Amino acid sequence: MVKYALKRFATMIVMLFIVATATFFMLAAVPGDALTERTARLPEDVAARVYARYGLDKPAPERYVITMRGLVVGDFGESIVFPGQTVQSVIAEKGPISLRLGFQQVILGVGIGLILGVIATVRKNTWVDYGIIAFSILMVSVPTLVFGLLLQQVFAGTLGWFPVIGWPSGDELMFGGWEYTVLPTLAGSFGYMAMYARLLKASMSDVLGQDYILAAEARGLSKGQIVRRHMIRNAAIPIVTKLPMTIAMCLTGSFYIETIFAIPGLGRYYIQAISGRDVTMVMGFTVVIAAMYMVVIFLTDILYHVVDPRIQLAGKTSR
Amino acid sequence: MDEKNQTTGAPAASEADVLLDVQDLKVSYHTYAGVVQSVRGVSFSLEPGGTLAIVGESGCGKSVSAKAIMGLVKDPGVVDPQSHIVFKGRDTATFTKEDWRSYKGGSASMIFQEALSALDPTTRVGKQITEAILAHEKVSKEEAKKRAIELLHEVGIPEPERRFKQFPHELSGGMRQRVMISIAFACNPELLICDEPTTALDVTIQDQILSEIREMQRRHGTAVIMITHDMGVVADIARDMVVMYSGLIVERGSVADIFAHPRHPYTKALLAAVPRVDQSRSDELAAIQGTPPDLINPPTGCPFCTRCPYRMDVCTKAMPSETDFGSGHRASCWLHDERSPRVDEVIQAASEEGGAR
């Protein structure tokens, strides 16, 4: 187990290095930079000083070395577009906002999705099942962008039940100000509902056809006991692998939802940083997000082994 | 065979010595292609402690019959409401939910073909045994665990305490099937249905498993229905047998009678297909030509007529009725009809040809 963890850790370092390198050179290859517009009307010597301040006057290989050295010690550098901001300060400021939005979306979406999945399985081949599947297909097909705008139009505009835009701040940052969070949470959770409803239905149906379910019934177990003891655990295997990824996704924020509802979260900031060629911020975020995904994947592999004892972690001798 | 031991004759025996009485069992599956009539009217009975083999090739309805007896036919399968499965004098059609639960795993249990797929891969084997005990008896968890370990020991699993805590994938194939046997006997069932319990195992293990089943049967006084396509298994374990073909019983009787004088051409062909030790390796193994009929549109006549070497005109037009050869040995074949020409010669010749040993 320890050996396995160490091996995975080493792989992660290598992968992070590759991600950082690729990101750096891709950004460097893009014509123009964050300062092009800002320095366009400045005298040449002033412009050169601005460039020198951000180190953008140096050739790419040299900047690469400086950037990578900074990454090792956790110094991602200062934002080029917004002076004084660093990756850490932005994450500390906007992270909680995206975190809350993401968690609310995942809890609502996955929760309802799993319930729908169970109902669709239990009521298989009835109108309830067809209804849930039709709903899921509709939900995955319509972009969140459209949902966001529709919800705003109906519930904030016509009915006026909720504010159109905005997000709780200050004391209410993590708890409270619910009326602001309802619509964005809802808009972002439909996709999860659809995905998990279908995923669970598929895996439950698969498990339902297995001999061990028939054998459990032949042993005299009640339907409830069979579902609780034998179906859920086996059907959970695909869910468990998907869930950590979903959580990771929600932490990185959702650009569309944050934009439509004017939520000052990470997703919107990241996209702005990319379009503004804010090289240091993009580098920093990319590496942080990549690292987070890698940790999540590692945890997923361990979880896999917990739910399904047949899966052995590499480096552990079987039996 | 005296009258009391007769298990395969018409369901006329008095209720007291009949454990299971199946009358006119019909099961069909509703598929997109049409209604598949898997079992088309099967009747047999079994006395307490008796052993009956149901023999036939894949798709003949033998496993479906077993599932129907266990109440395990699932949508899209439908058991015909006119069918009667009578267990200890009570028609299972009148069972309540509670009756079914105490029947399944309590009075009647089942061993499946592949132990690996019949055991939940994510649950420790011990728990799968104790949950069977706990489902039927009011005992403490510790008591159930003690019983489970005893059962594992009883079916010949070494180090039962350690095995109790293992997962199915950590056991060998033979060991898994032993676990299945211990689950099946957990609540002293009166009826055990074995659905090809040895098919997925290699020959030496097959033998051990069969002796284990026989031993457990003797110790617990359980009646066994052995579903198989292996004539060796039949000879080994059963006293009586029925031969099924395309959802019907074509021949029934004691194993001794049928092995000595198979009356139905299909039974003859099955027996002829058994490889023999004295056979030369260059000899081709005997096989039955053709394929079984489509059970969506079963033939009006004898279902075996398309593959039968002795086919007559009548075979394609009407179902033959059962002919009684005494002591419960019956076969459904037009060759045995009194109007059929030179029956004796044909049968005699066939017996010599098919069963020349």
Residues A30 and A173 in one domain: no
Residues A242 and A97 in one domain: yes
The answer to the question of residue A109 being in a domain is yes
Confidence of residue A69 (pLDDT cuts 50, 70, 90): confident
pLDDT of residue B285: 75
8 Å CB contact of A225 and B135:
yes
pLDDT of residue A40: 75
Residues A138 and A254 in one domain: yes
Cis-peptide, bond into residue B76, ω within 30° of zero: yes
pLDDT per residue over A289-302, tens digit each? Answer: 888 888 888 888 88
pLDDT of residue B294: 83
- CA of A249, closest CA in chain B: separation in Å? 29
Confidence of residue A155 (pLDDT cuts 50, 70, 90): confident
pLDDT of residue A270: 84
* Total domains present in chain A: 2
The answer to the question of residue A221 being in a domain is yes
- In this prediction, residues A264-268 reach a mean pLDDT of 83
Residues A121 and A254 in one domain: yes
Residues A231 and A158 in one domain: yes
Last residue of a domain, one of A47, A73, A99: A73
Q: Judge whether B114 is closer than 8 Å to chain A, CB to CB.
A: yes
pLDDT per residue over A275-284, tens digit each? Answer: 888 888 888 8
Q: Is the pLDDT of residue A117 over 70?
A: yes
Q: What is the CATH number of the domain that holds A252?
A: 1.10.3720.10
Residue B170: list chain A partners with CB under 8 A. Answer: 319
Residues A160 and A218 in one domain: yes
The answer to the question of residue A301 being in a domain is no
Residue range(s) defining the domain that contains residue A97: 87-275
pLDDT of residue B46: 93
Residues A57 and A24 in one domain: yes
Lowest-pLDDT range of A110-119, A121-130, A168-177, A184-193: A168-177
Q: Is the pLDDT of residue A29 over 60?
A: yes
Residues A234 and A110 in one domain: yes
From the list A214, A229, A309, the residue facing B72 with the nearest CB is A214
Residues A38 and A95 in one domain: no
pLDDT of residue B347: 55
Burial B32-67 (b: 16+ CB within 10 A, else e): eeeebbbbbbbbbbbbeebbbbbbbbeebbbbbbbb
The answer to the question of residue A175 being in a domain is yes
Q: Is the pLDDT of residue A118 over 90?
A: no
pLDDT per residue over A218-261, tens digit each? Answer: 998 988 889 888 888 888 888 888 888 888 887 776 778 888 88
Strands B77-79 vs B20-31: parallel, antiparallel or unpaired: antiparallel
Q: Where in chain B is the domain with CATH 3.40.50.300?
A: 18-238
pLDDT of residue A98: 85
Residues of chain B falling short of pLDDT 50: 1-13, 354-357
Residues A44 and A159 in one domain: no
From the list A211, A212, A220, the residue facing B105 with the nearest CB is A220
| Cβ neighbours, 10 Å, residue B89 | 10
Confidence of residue A56 (pLDDT cuts 50, 70, 90): confident
8 Å CB contact of A230 and B123:
yes
The answer to the question of residue A290 being in a domain is no
- CA-nearest of A234, A270, A264, A229 to A249 is A270
Nearest chain A alpha carbon to B195: A215
From the list B74, B103, B122, the residue facing A307 with the nearest CB is B122
Residue A222: list chain B partners with CB under 8 A. Answer: 101, 135
Residues A116 and A243 in one domain: yes
pLDDT of residue A245: 83
pLDDT of residue B357: 40
- In this prediction, residues A169-195 reach a mean pLDDT of 80
Computed over every residue of chain A, the mean pLDDT equals: 83
DSSP annotation of B209: H
pLDDT of residue B163: 93
- In this prediction, residues A22-33 reach a mean pLDDT of 84
Q: Per CATH, the architecture of B18-238 is what?
A: 3-Layer(aba) Sandwich (3.40)
Residues A224 and A92 in one domain: yes
